[in-house]
Structure 1
Amino acid sequence: MTPEHLDAVAQATWPPAAMQTVGPWTIRDGQDGGKRVSAATARQPVTADKLPLAEDAMQALGQTPLFMVRHGDDALDTMLGDAGYQVIDPVNIYAAPLANLAKPPPHATTFTIWEPLAIQLDMWVAGGIGPSRIKVMQRATMPKTSVFARDGQRPAATGFAAIHDGTAMVHALEVTPSCRRRGMGRHVMQKAAIWAQDHGASHIAALCTQDNAGANALYASLGMALVGQYHYRIQHKAQTT
Structure 2
Amino acid sequence: MNTNDLFDVVEATWPAAKETQVGPWLIRDGQGGGKRVSAARPAGPVTQNDVALAVAEMEKLGQQALFSLRPEDGQLDSILAQMGYEVLDPSILFTGPVFEEVVPPVTAFDIWPPLQIMKDVWSEGGIGPGRIAVMERVTGPKTSILGRISDRAAGCAFVAMHGTTAMVHAVEVLPDYRRHGLARNMMYAAARWAKEQGAEHFSLVTTGSNVAAQSLYSSLGLSVVGRYHYRMKP
Asked if TM exceeds 0.5, the reply is yes
Corresponding residue number in structure 1 for 2:71:
71
Give the Cα–Cα distance (whole angstroms) in 2 for the partners of residues 203 and 142 of structure 1: 16
Within a 5 Å distance, the mapping from 1:211-226 to structure 2 comes to 211-226=209-224
**CA-CA distance at 1:222 after TM superposition:** 1.6
Correspondence 1:88 to 2:59: no
Corresponding residue number in structure 2 for 1:28:
28
Contact 2:97 2:221 survives alignment (8 Å): no
1:15-54 superposed Cα distances (whole Å, 9 cap, x missing partner): 1111111001000001111000000001111111111111
Corresponding residue number in structure 2 for 1:124:
122
Q: What is the TM-score of this pair, normalised by structure 2?
A: 0.97
Correspondence 1:154 to 2:186: no
Amino acid at match of 1:163: M
Within a 5 Å distance, the mapping from 1:1-241 to structure 2 comes to 1-98=1-98, 101-236=99-234
Give the Cα–Cα distance (whole angstroms) in 2 for the partners of residues 84 and 128 of structure 1: 27
Which deviates more, 71-80 or 195-204? 71-80
Contact 1:3 1:71 survives alignment (8 Å): no
Percent identity over the alignment? 48
Give the Cα–Cα distance (whole angstroms) in 1 for the partners of residues 140 and 14 of structure 2: 11
Q: What is the TM-score of this pair, normalised by structure 1?
A: 0.94
Give the Cα–Cα distance (whole angstroms) in 2 for the partners of residues 66 and 177 of structure 1: 29
In structure 2, the gaps of 5 or more residues are: none
SS at match of 1:36: helix
The count of aligned residue pairs is 234
Amino acid at match of 2:6: L
Contact 1:27 1:54 survives alignment (8 Å): yes
Amino acid at match of 2:111: I
**CA-CA distance at 1:224 after TM superposition:** 1.1
In structure 1, the gaps of 5 or more residues are: 237-241
Give the Cα–Cα distance (whole angstroms) in 1 for the partners of residues 205 and 133 of structure 2: 19
Give the Cα–Cα distance (whole angstroms) in 1 for the partners of residues 205 and 89 of structure 2: 12
**CA-CA distance at 1:66 after TM superposition:** 0.3
SS at match of 1:204: strand
Q: Which runs of 4 or more aligned residues in structure 1 lie more than 3 Å from their structure 2 counterparts after TM superposition?
A: none
**CA-CA distance at 1:149 after TM superposition:** 1.5
Give the Cα–Cα distance (whole angstroms) in 2 for the partners of residues 197 and 43 of structure 1: 34
1:206-241 superposed Cα distances (whole Å, 9 cap, x missing partner): 1111111221221122221011100000023xxxxx
1:116-144 superposed Cα distances (whole Å, 9 cap, x missing partner): 01110000001110111111101111100
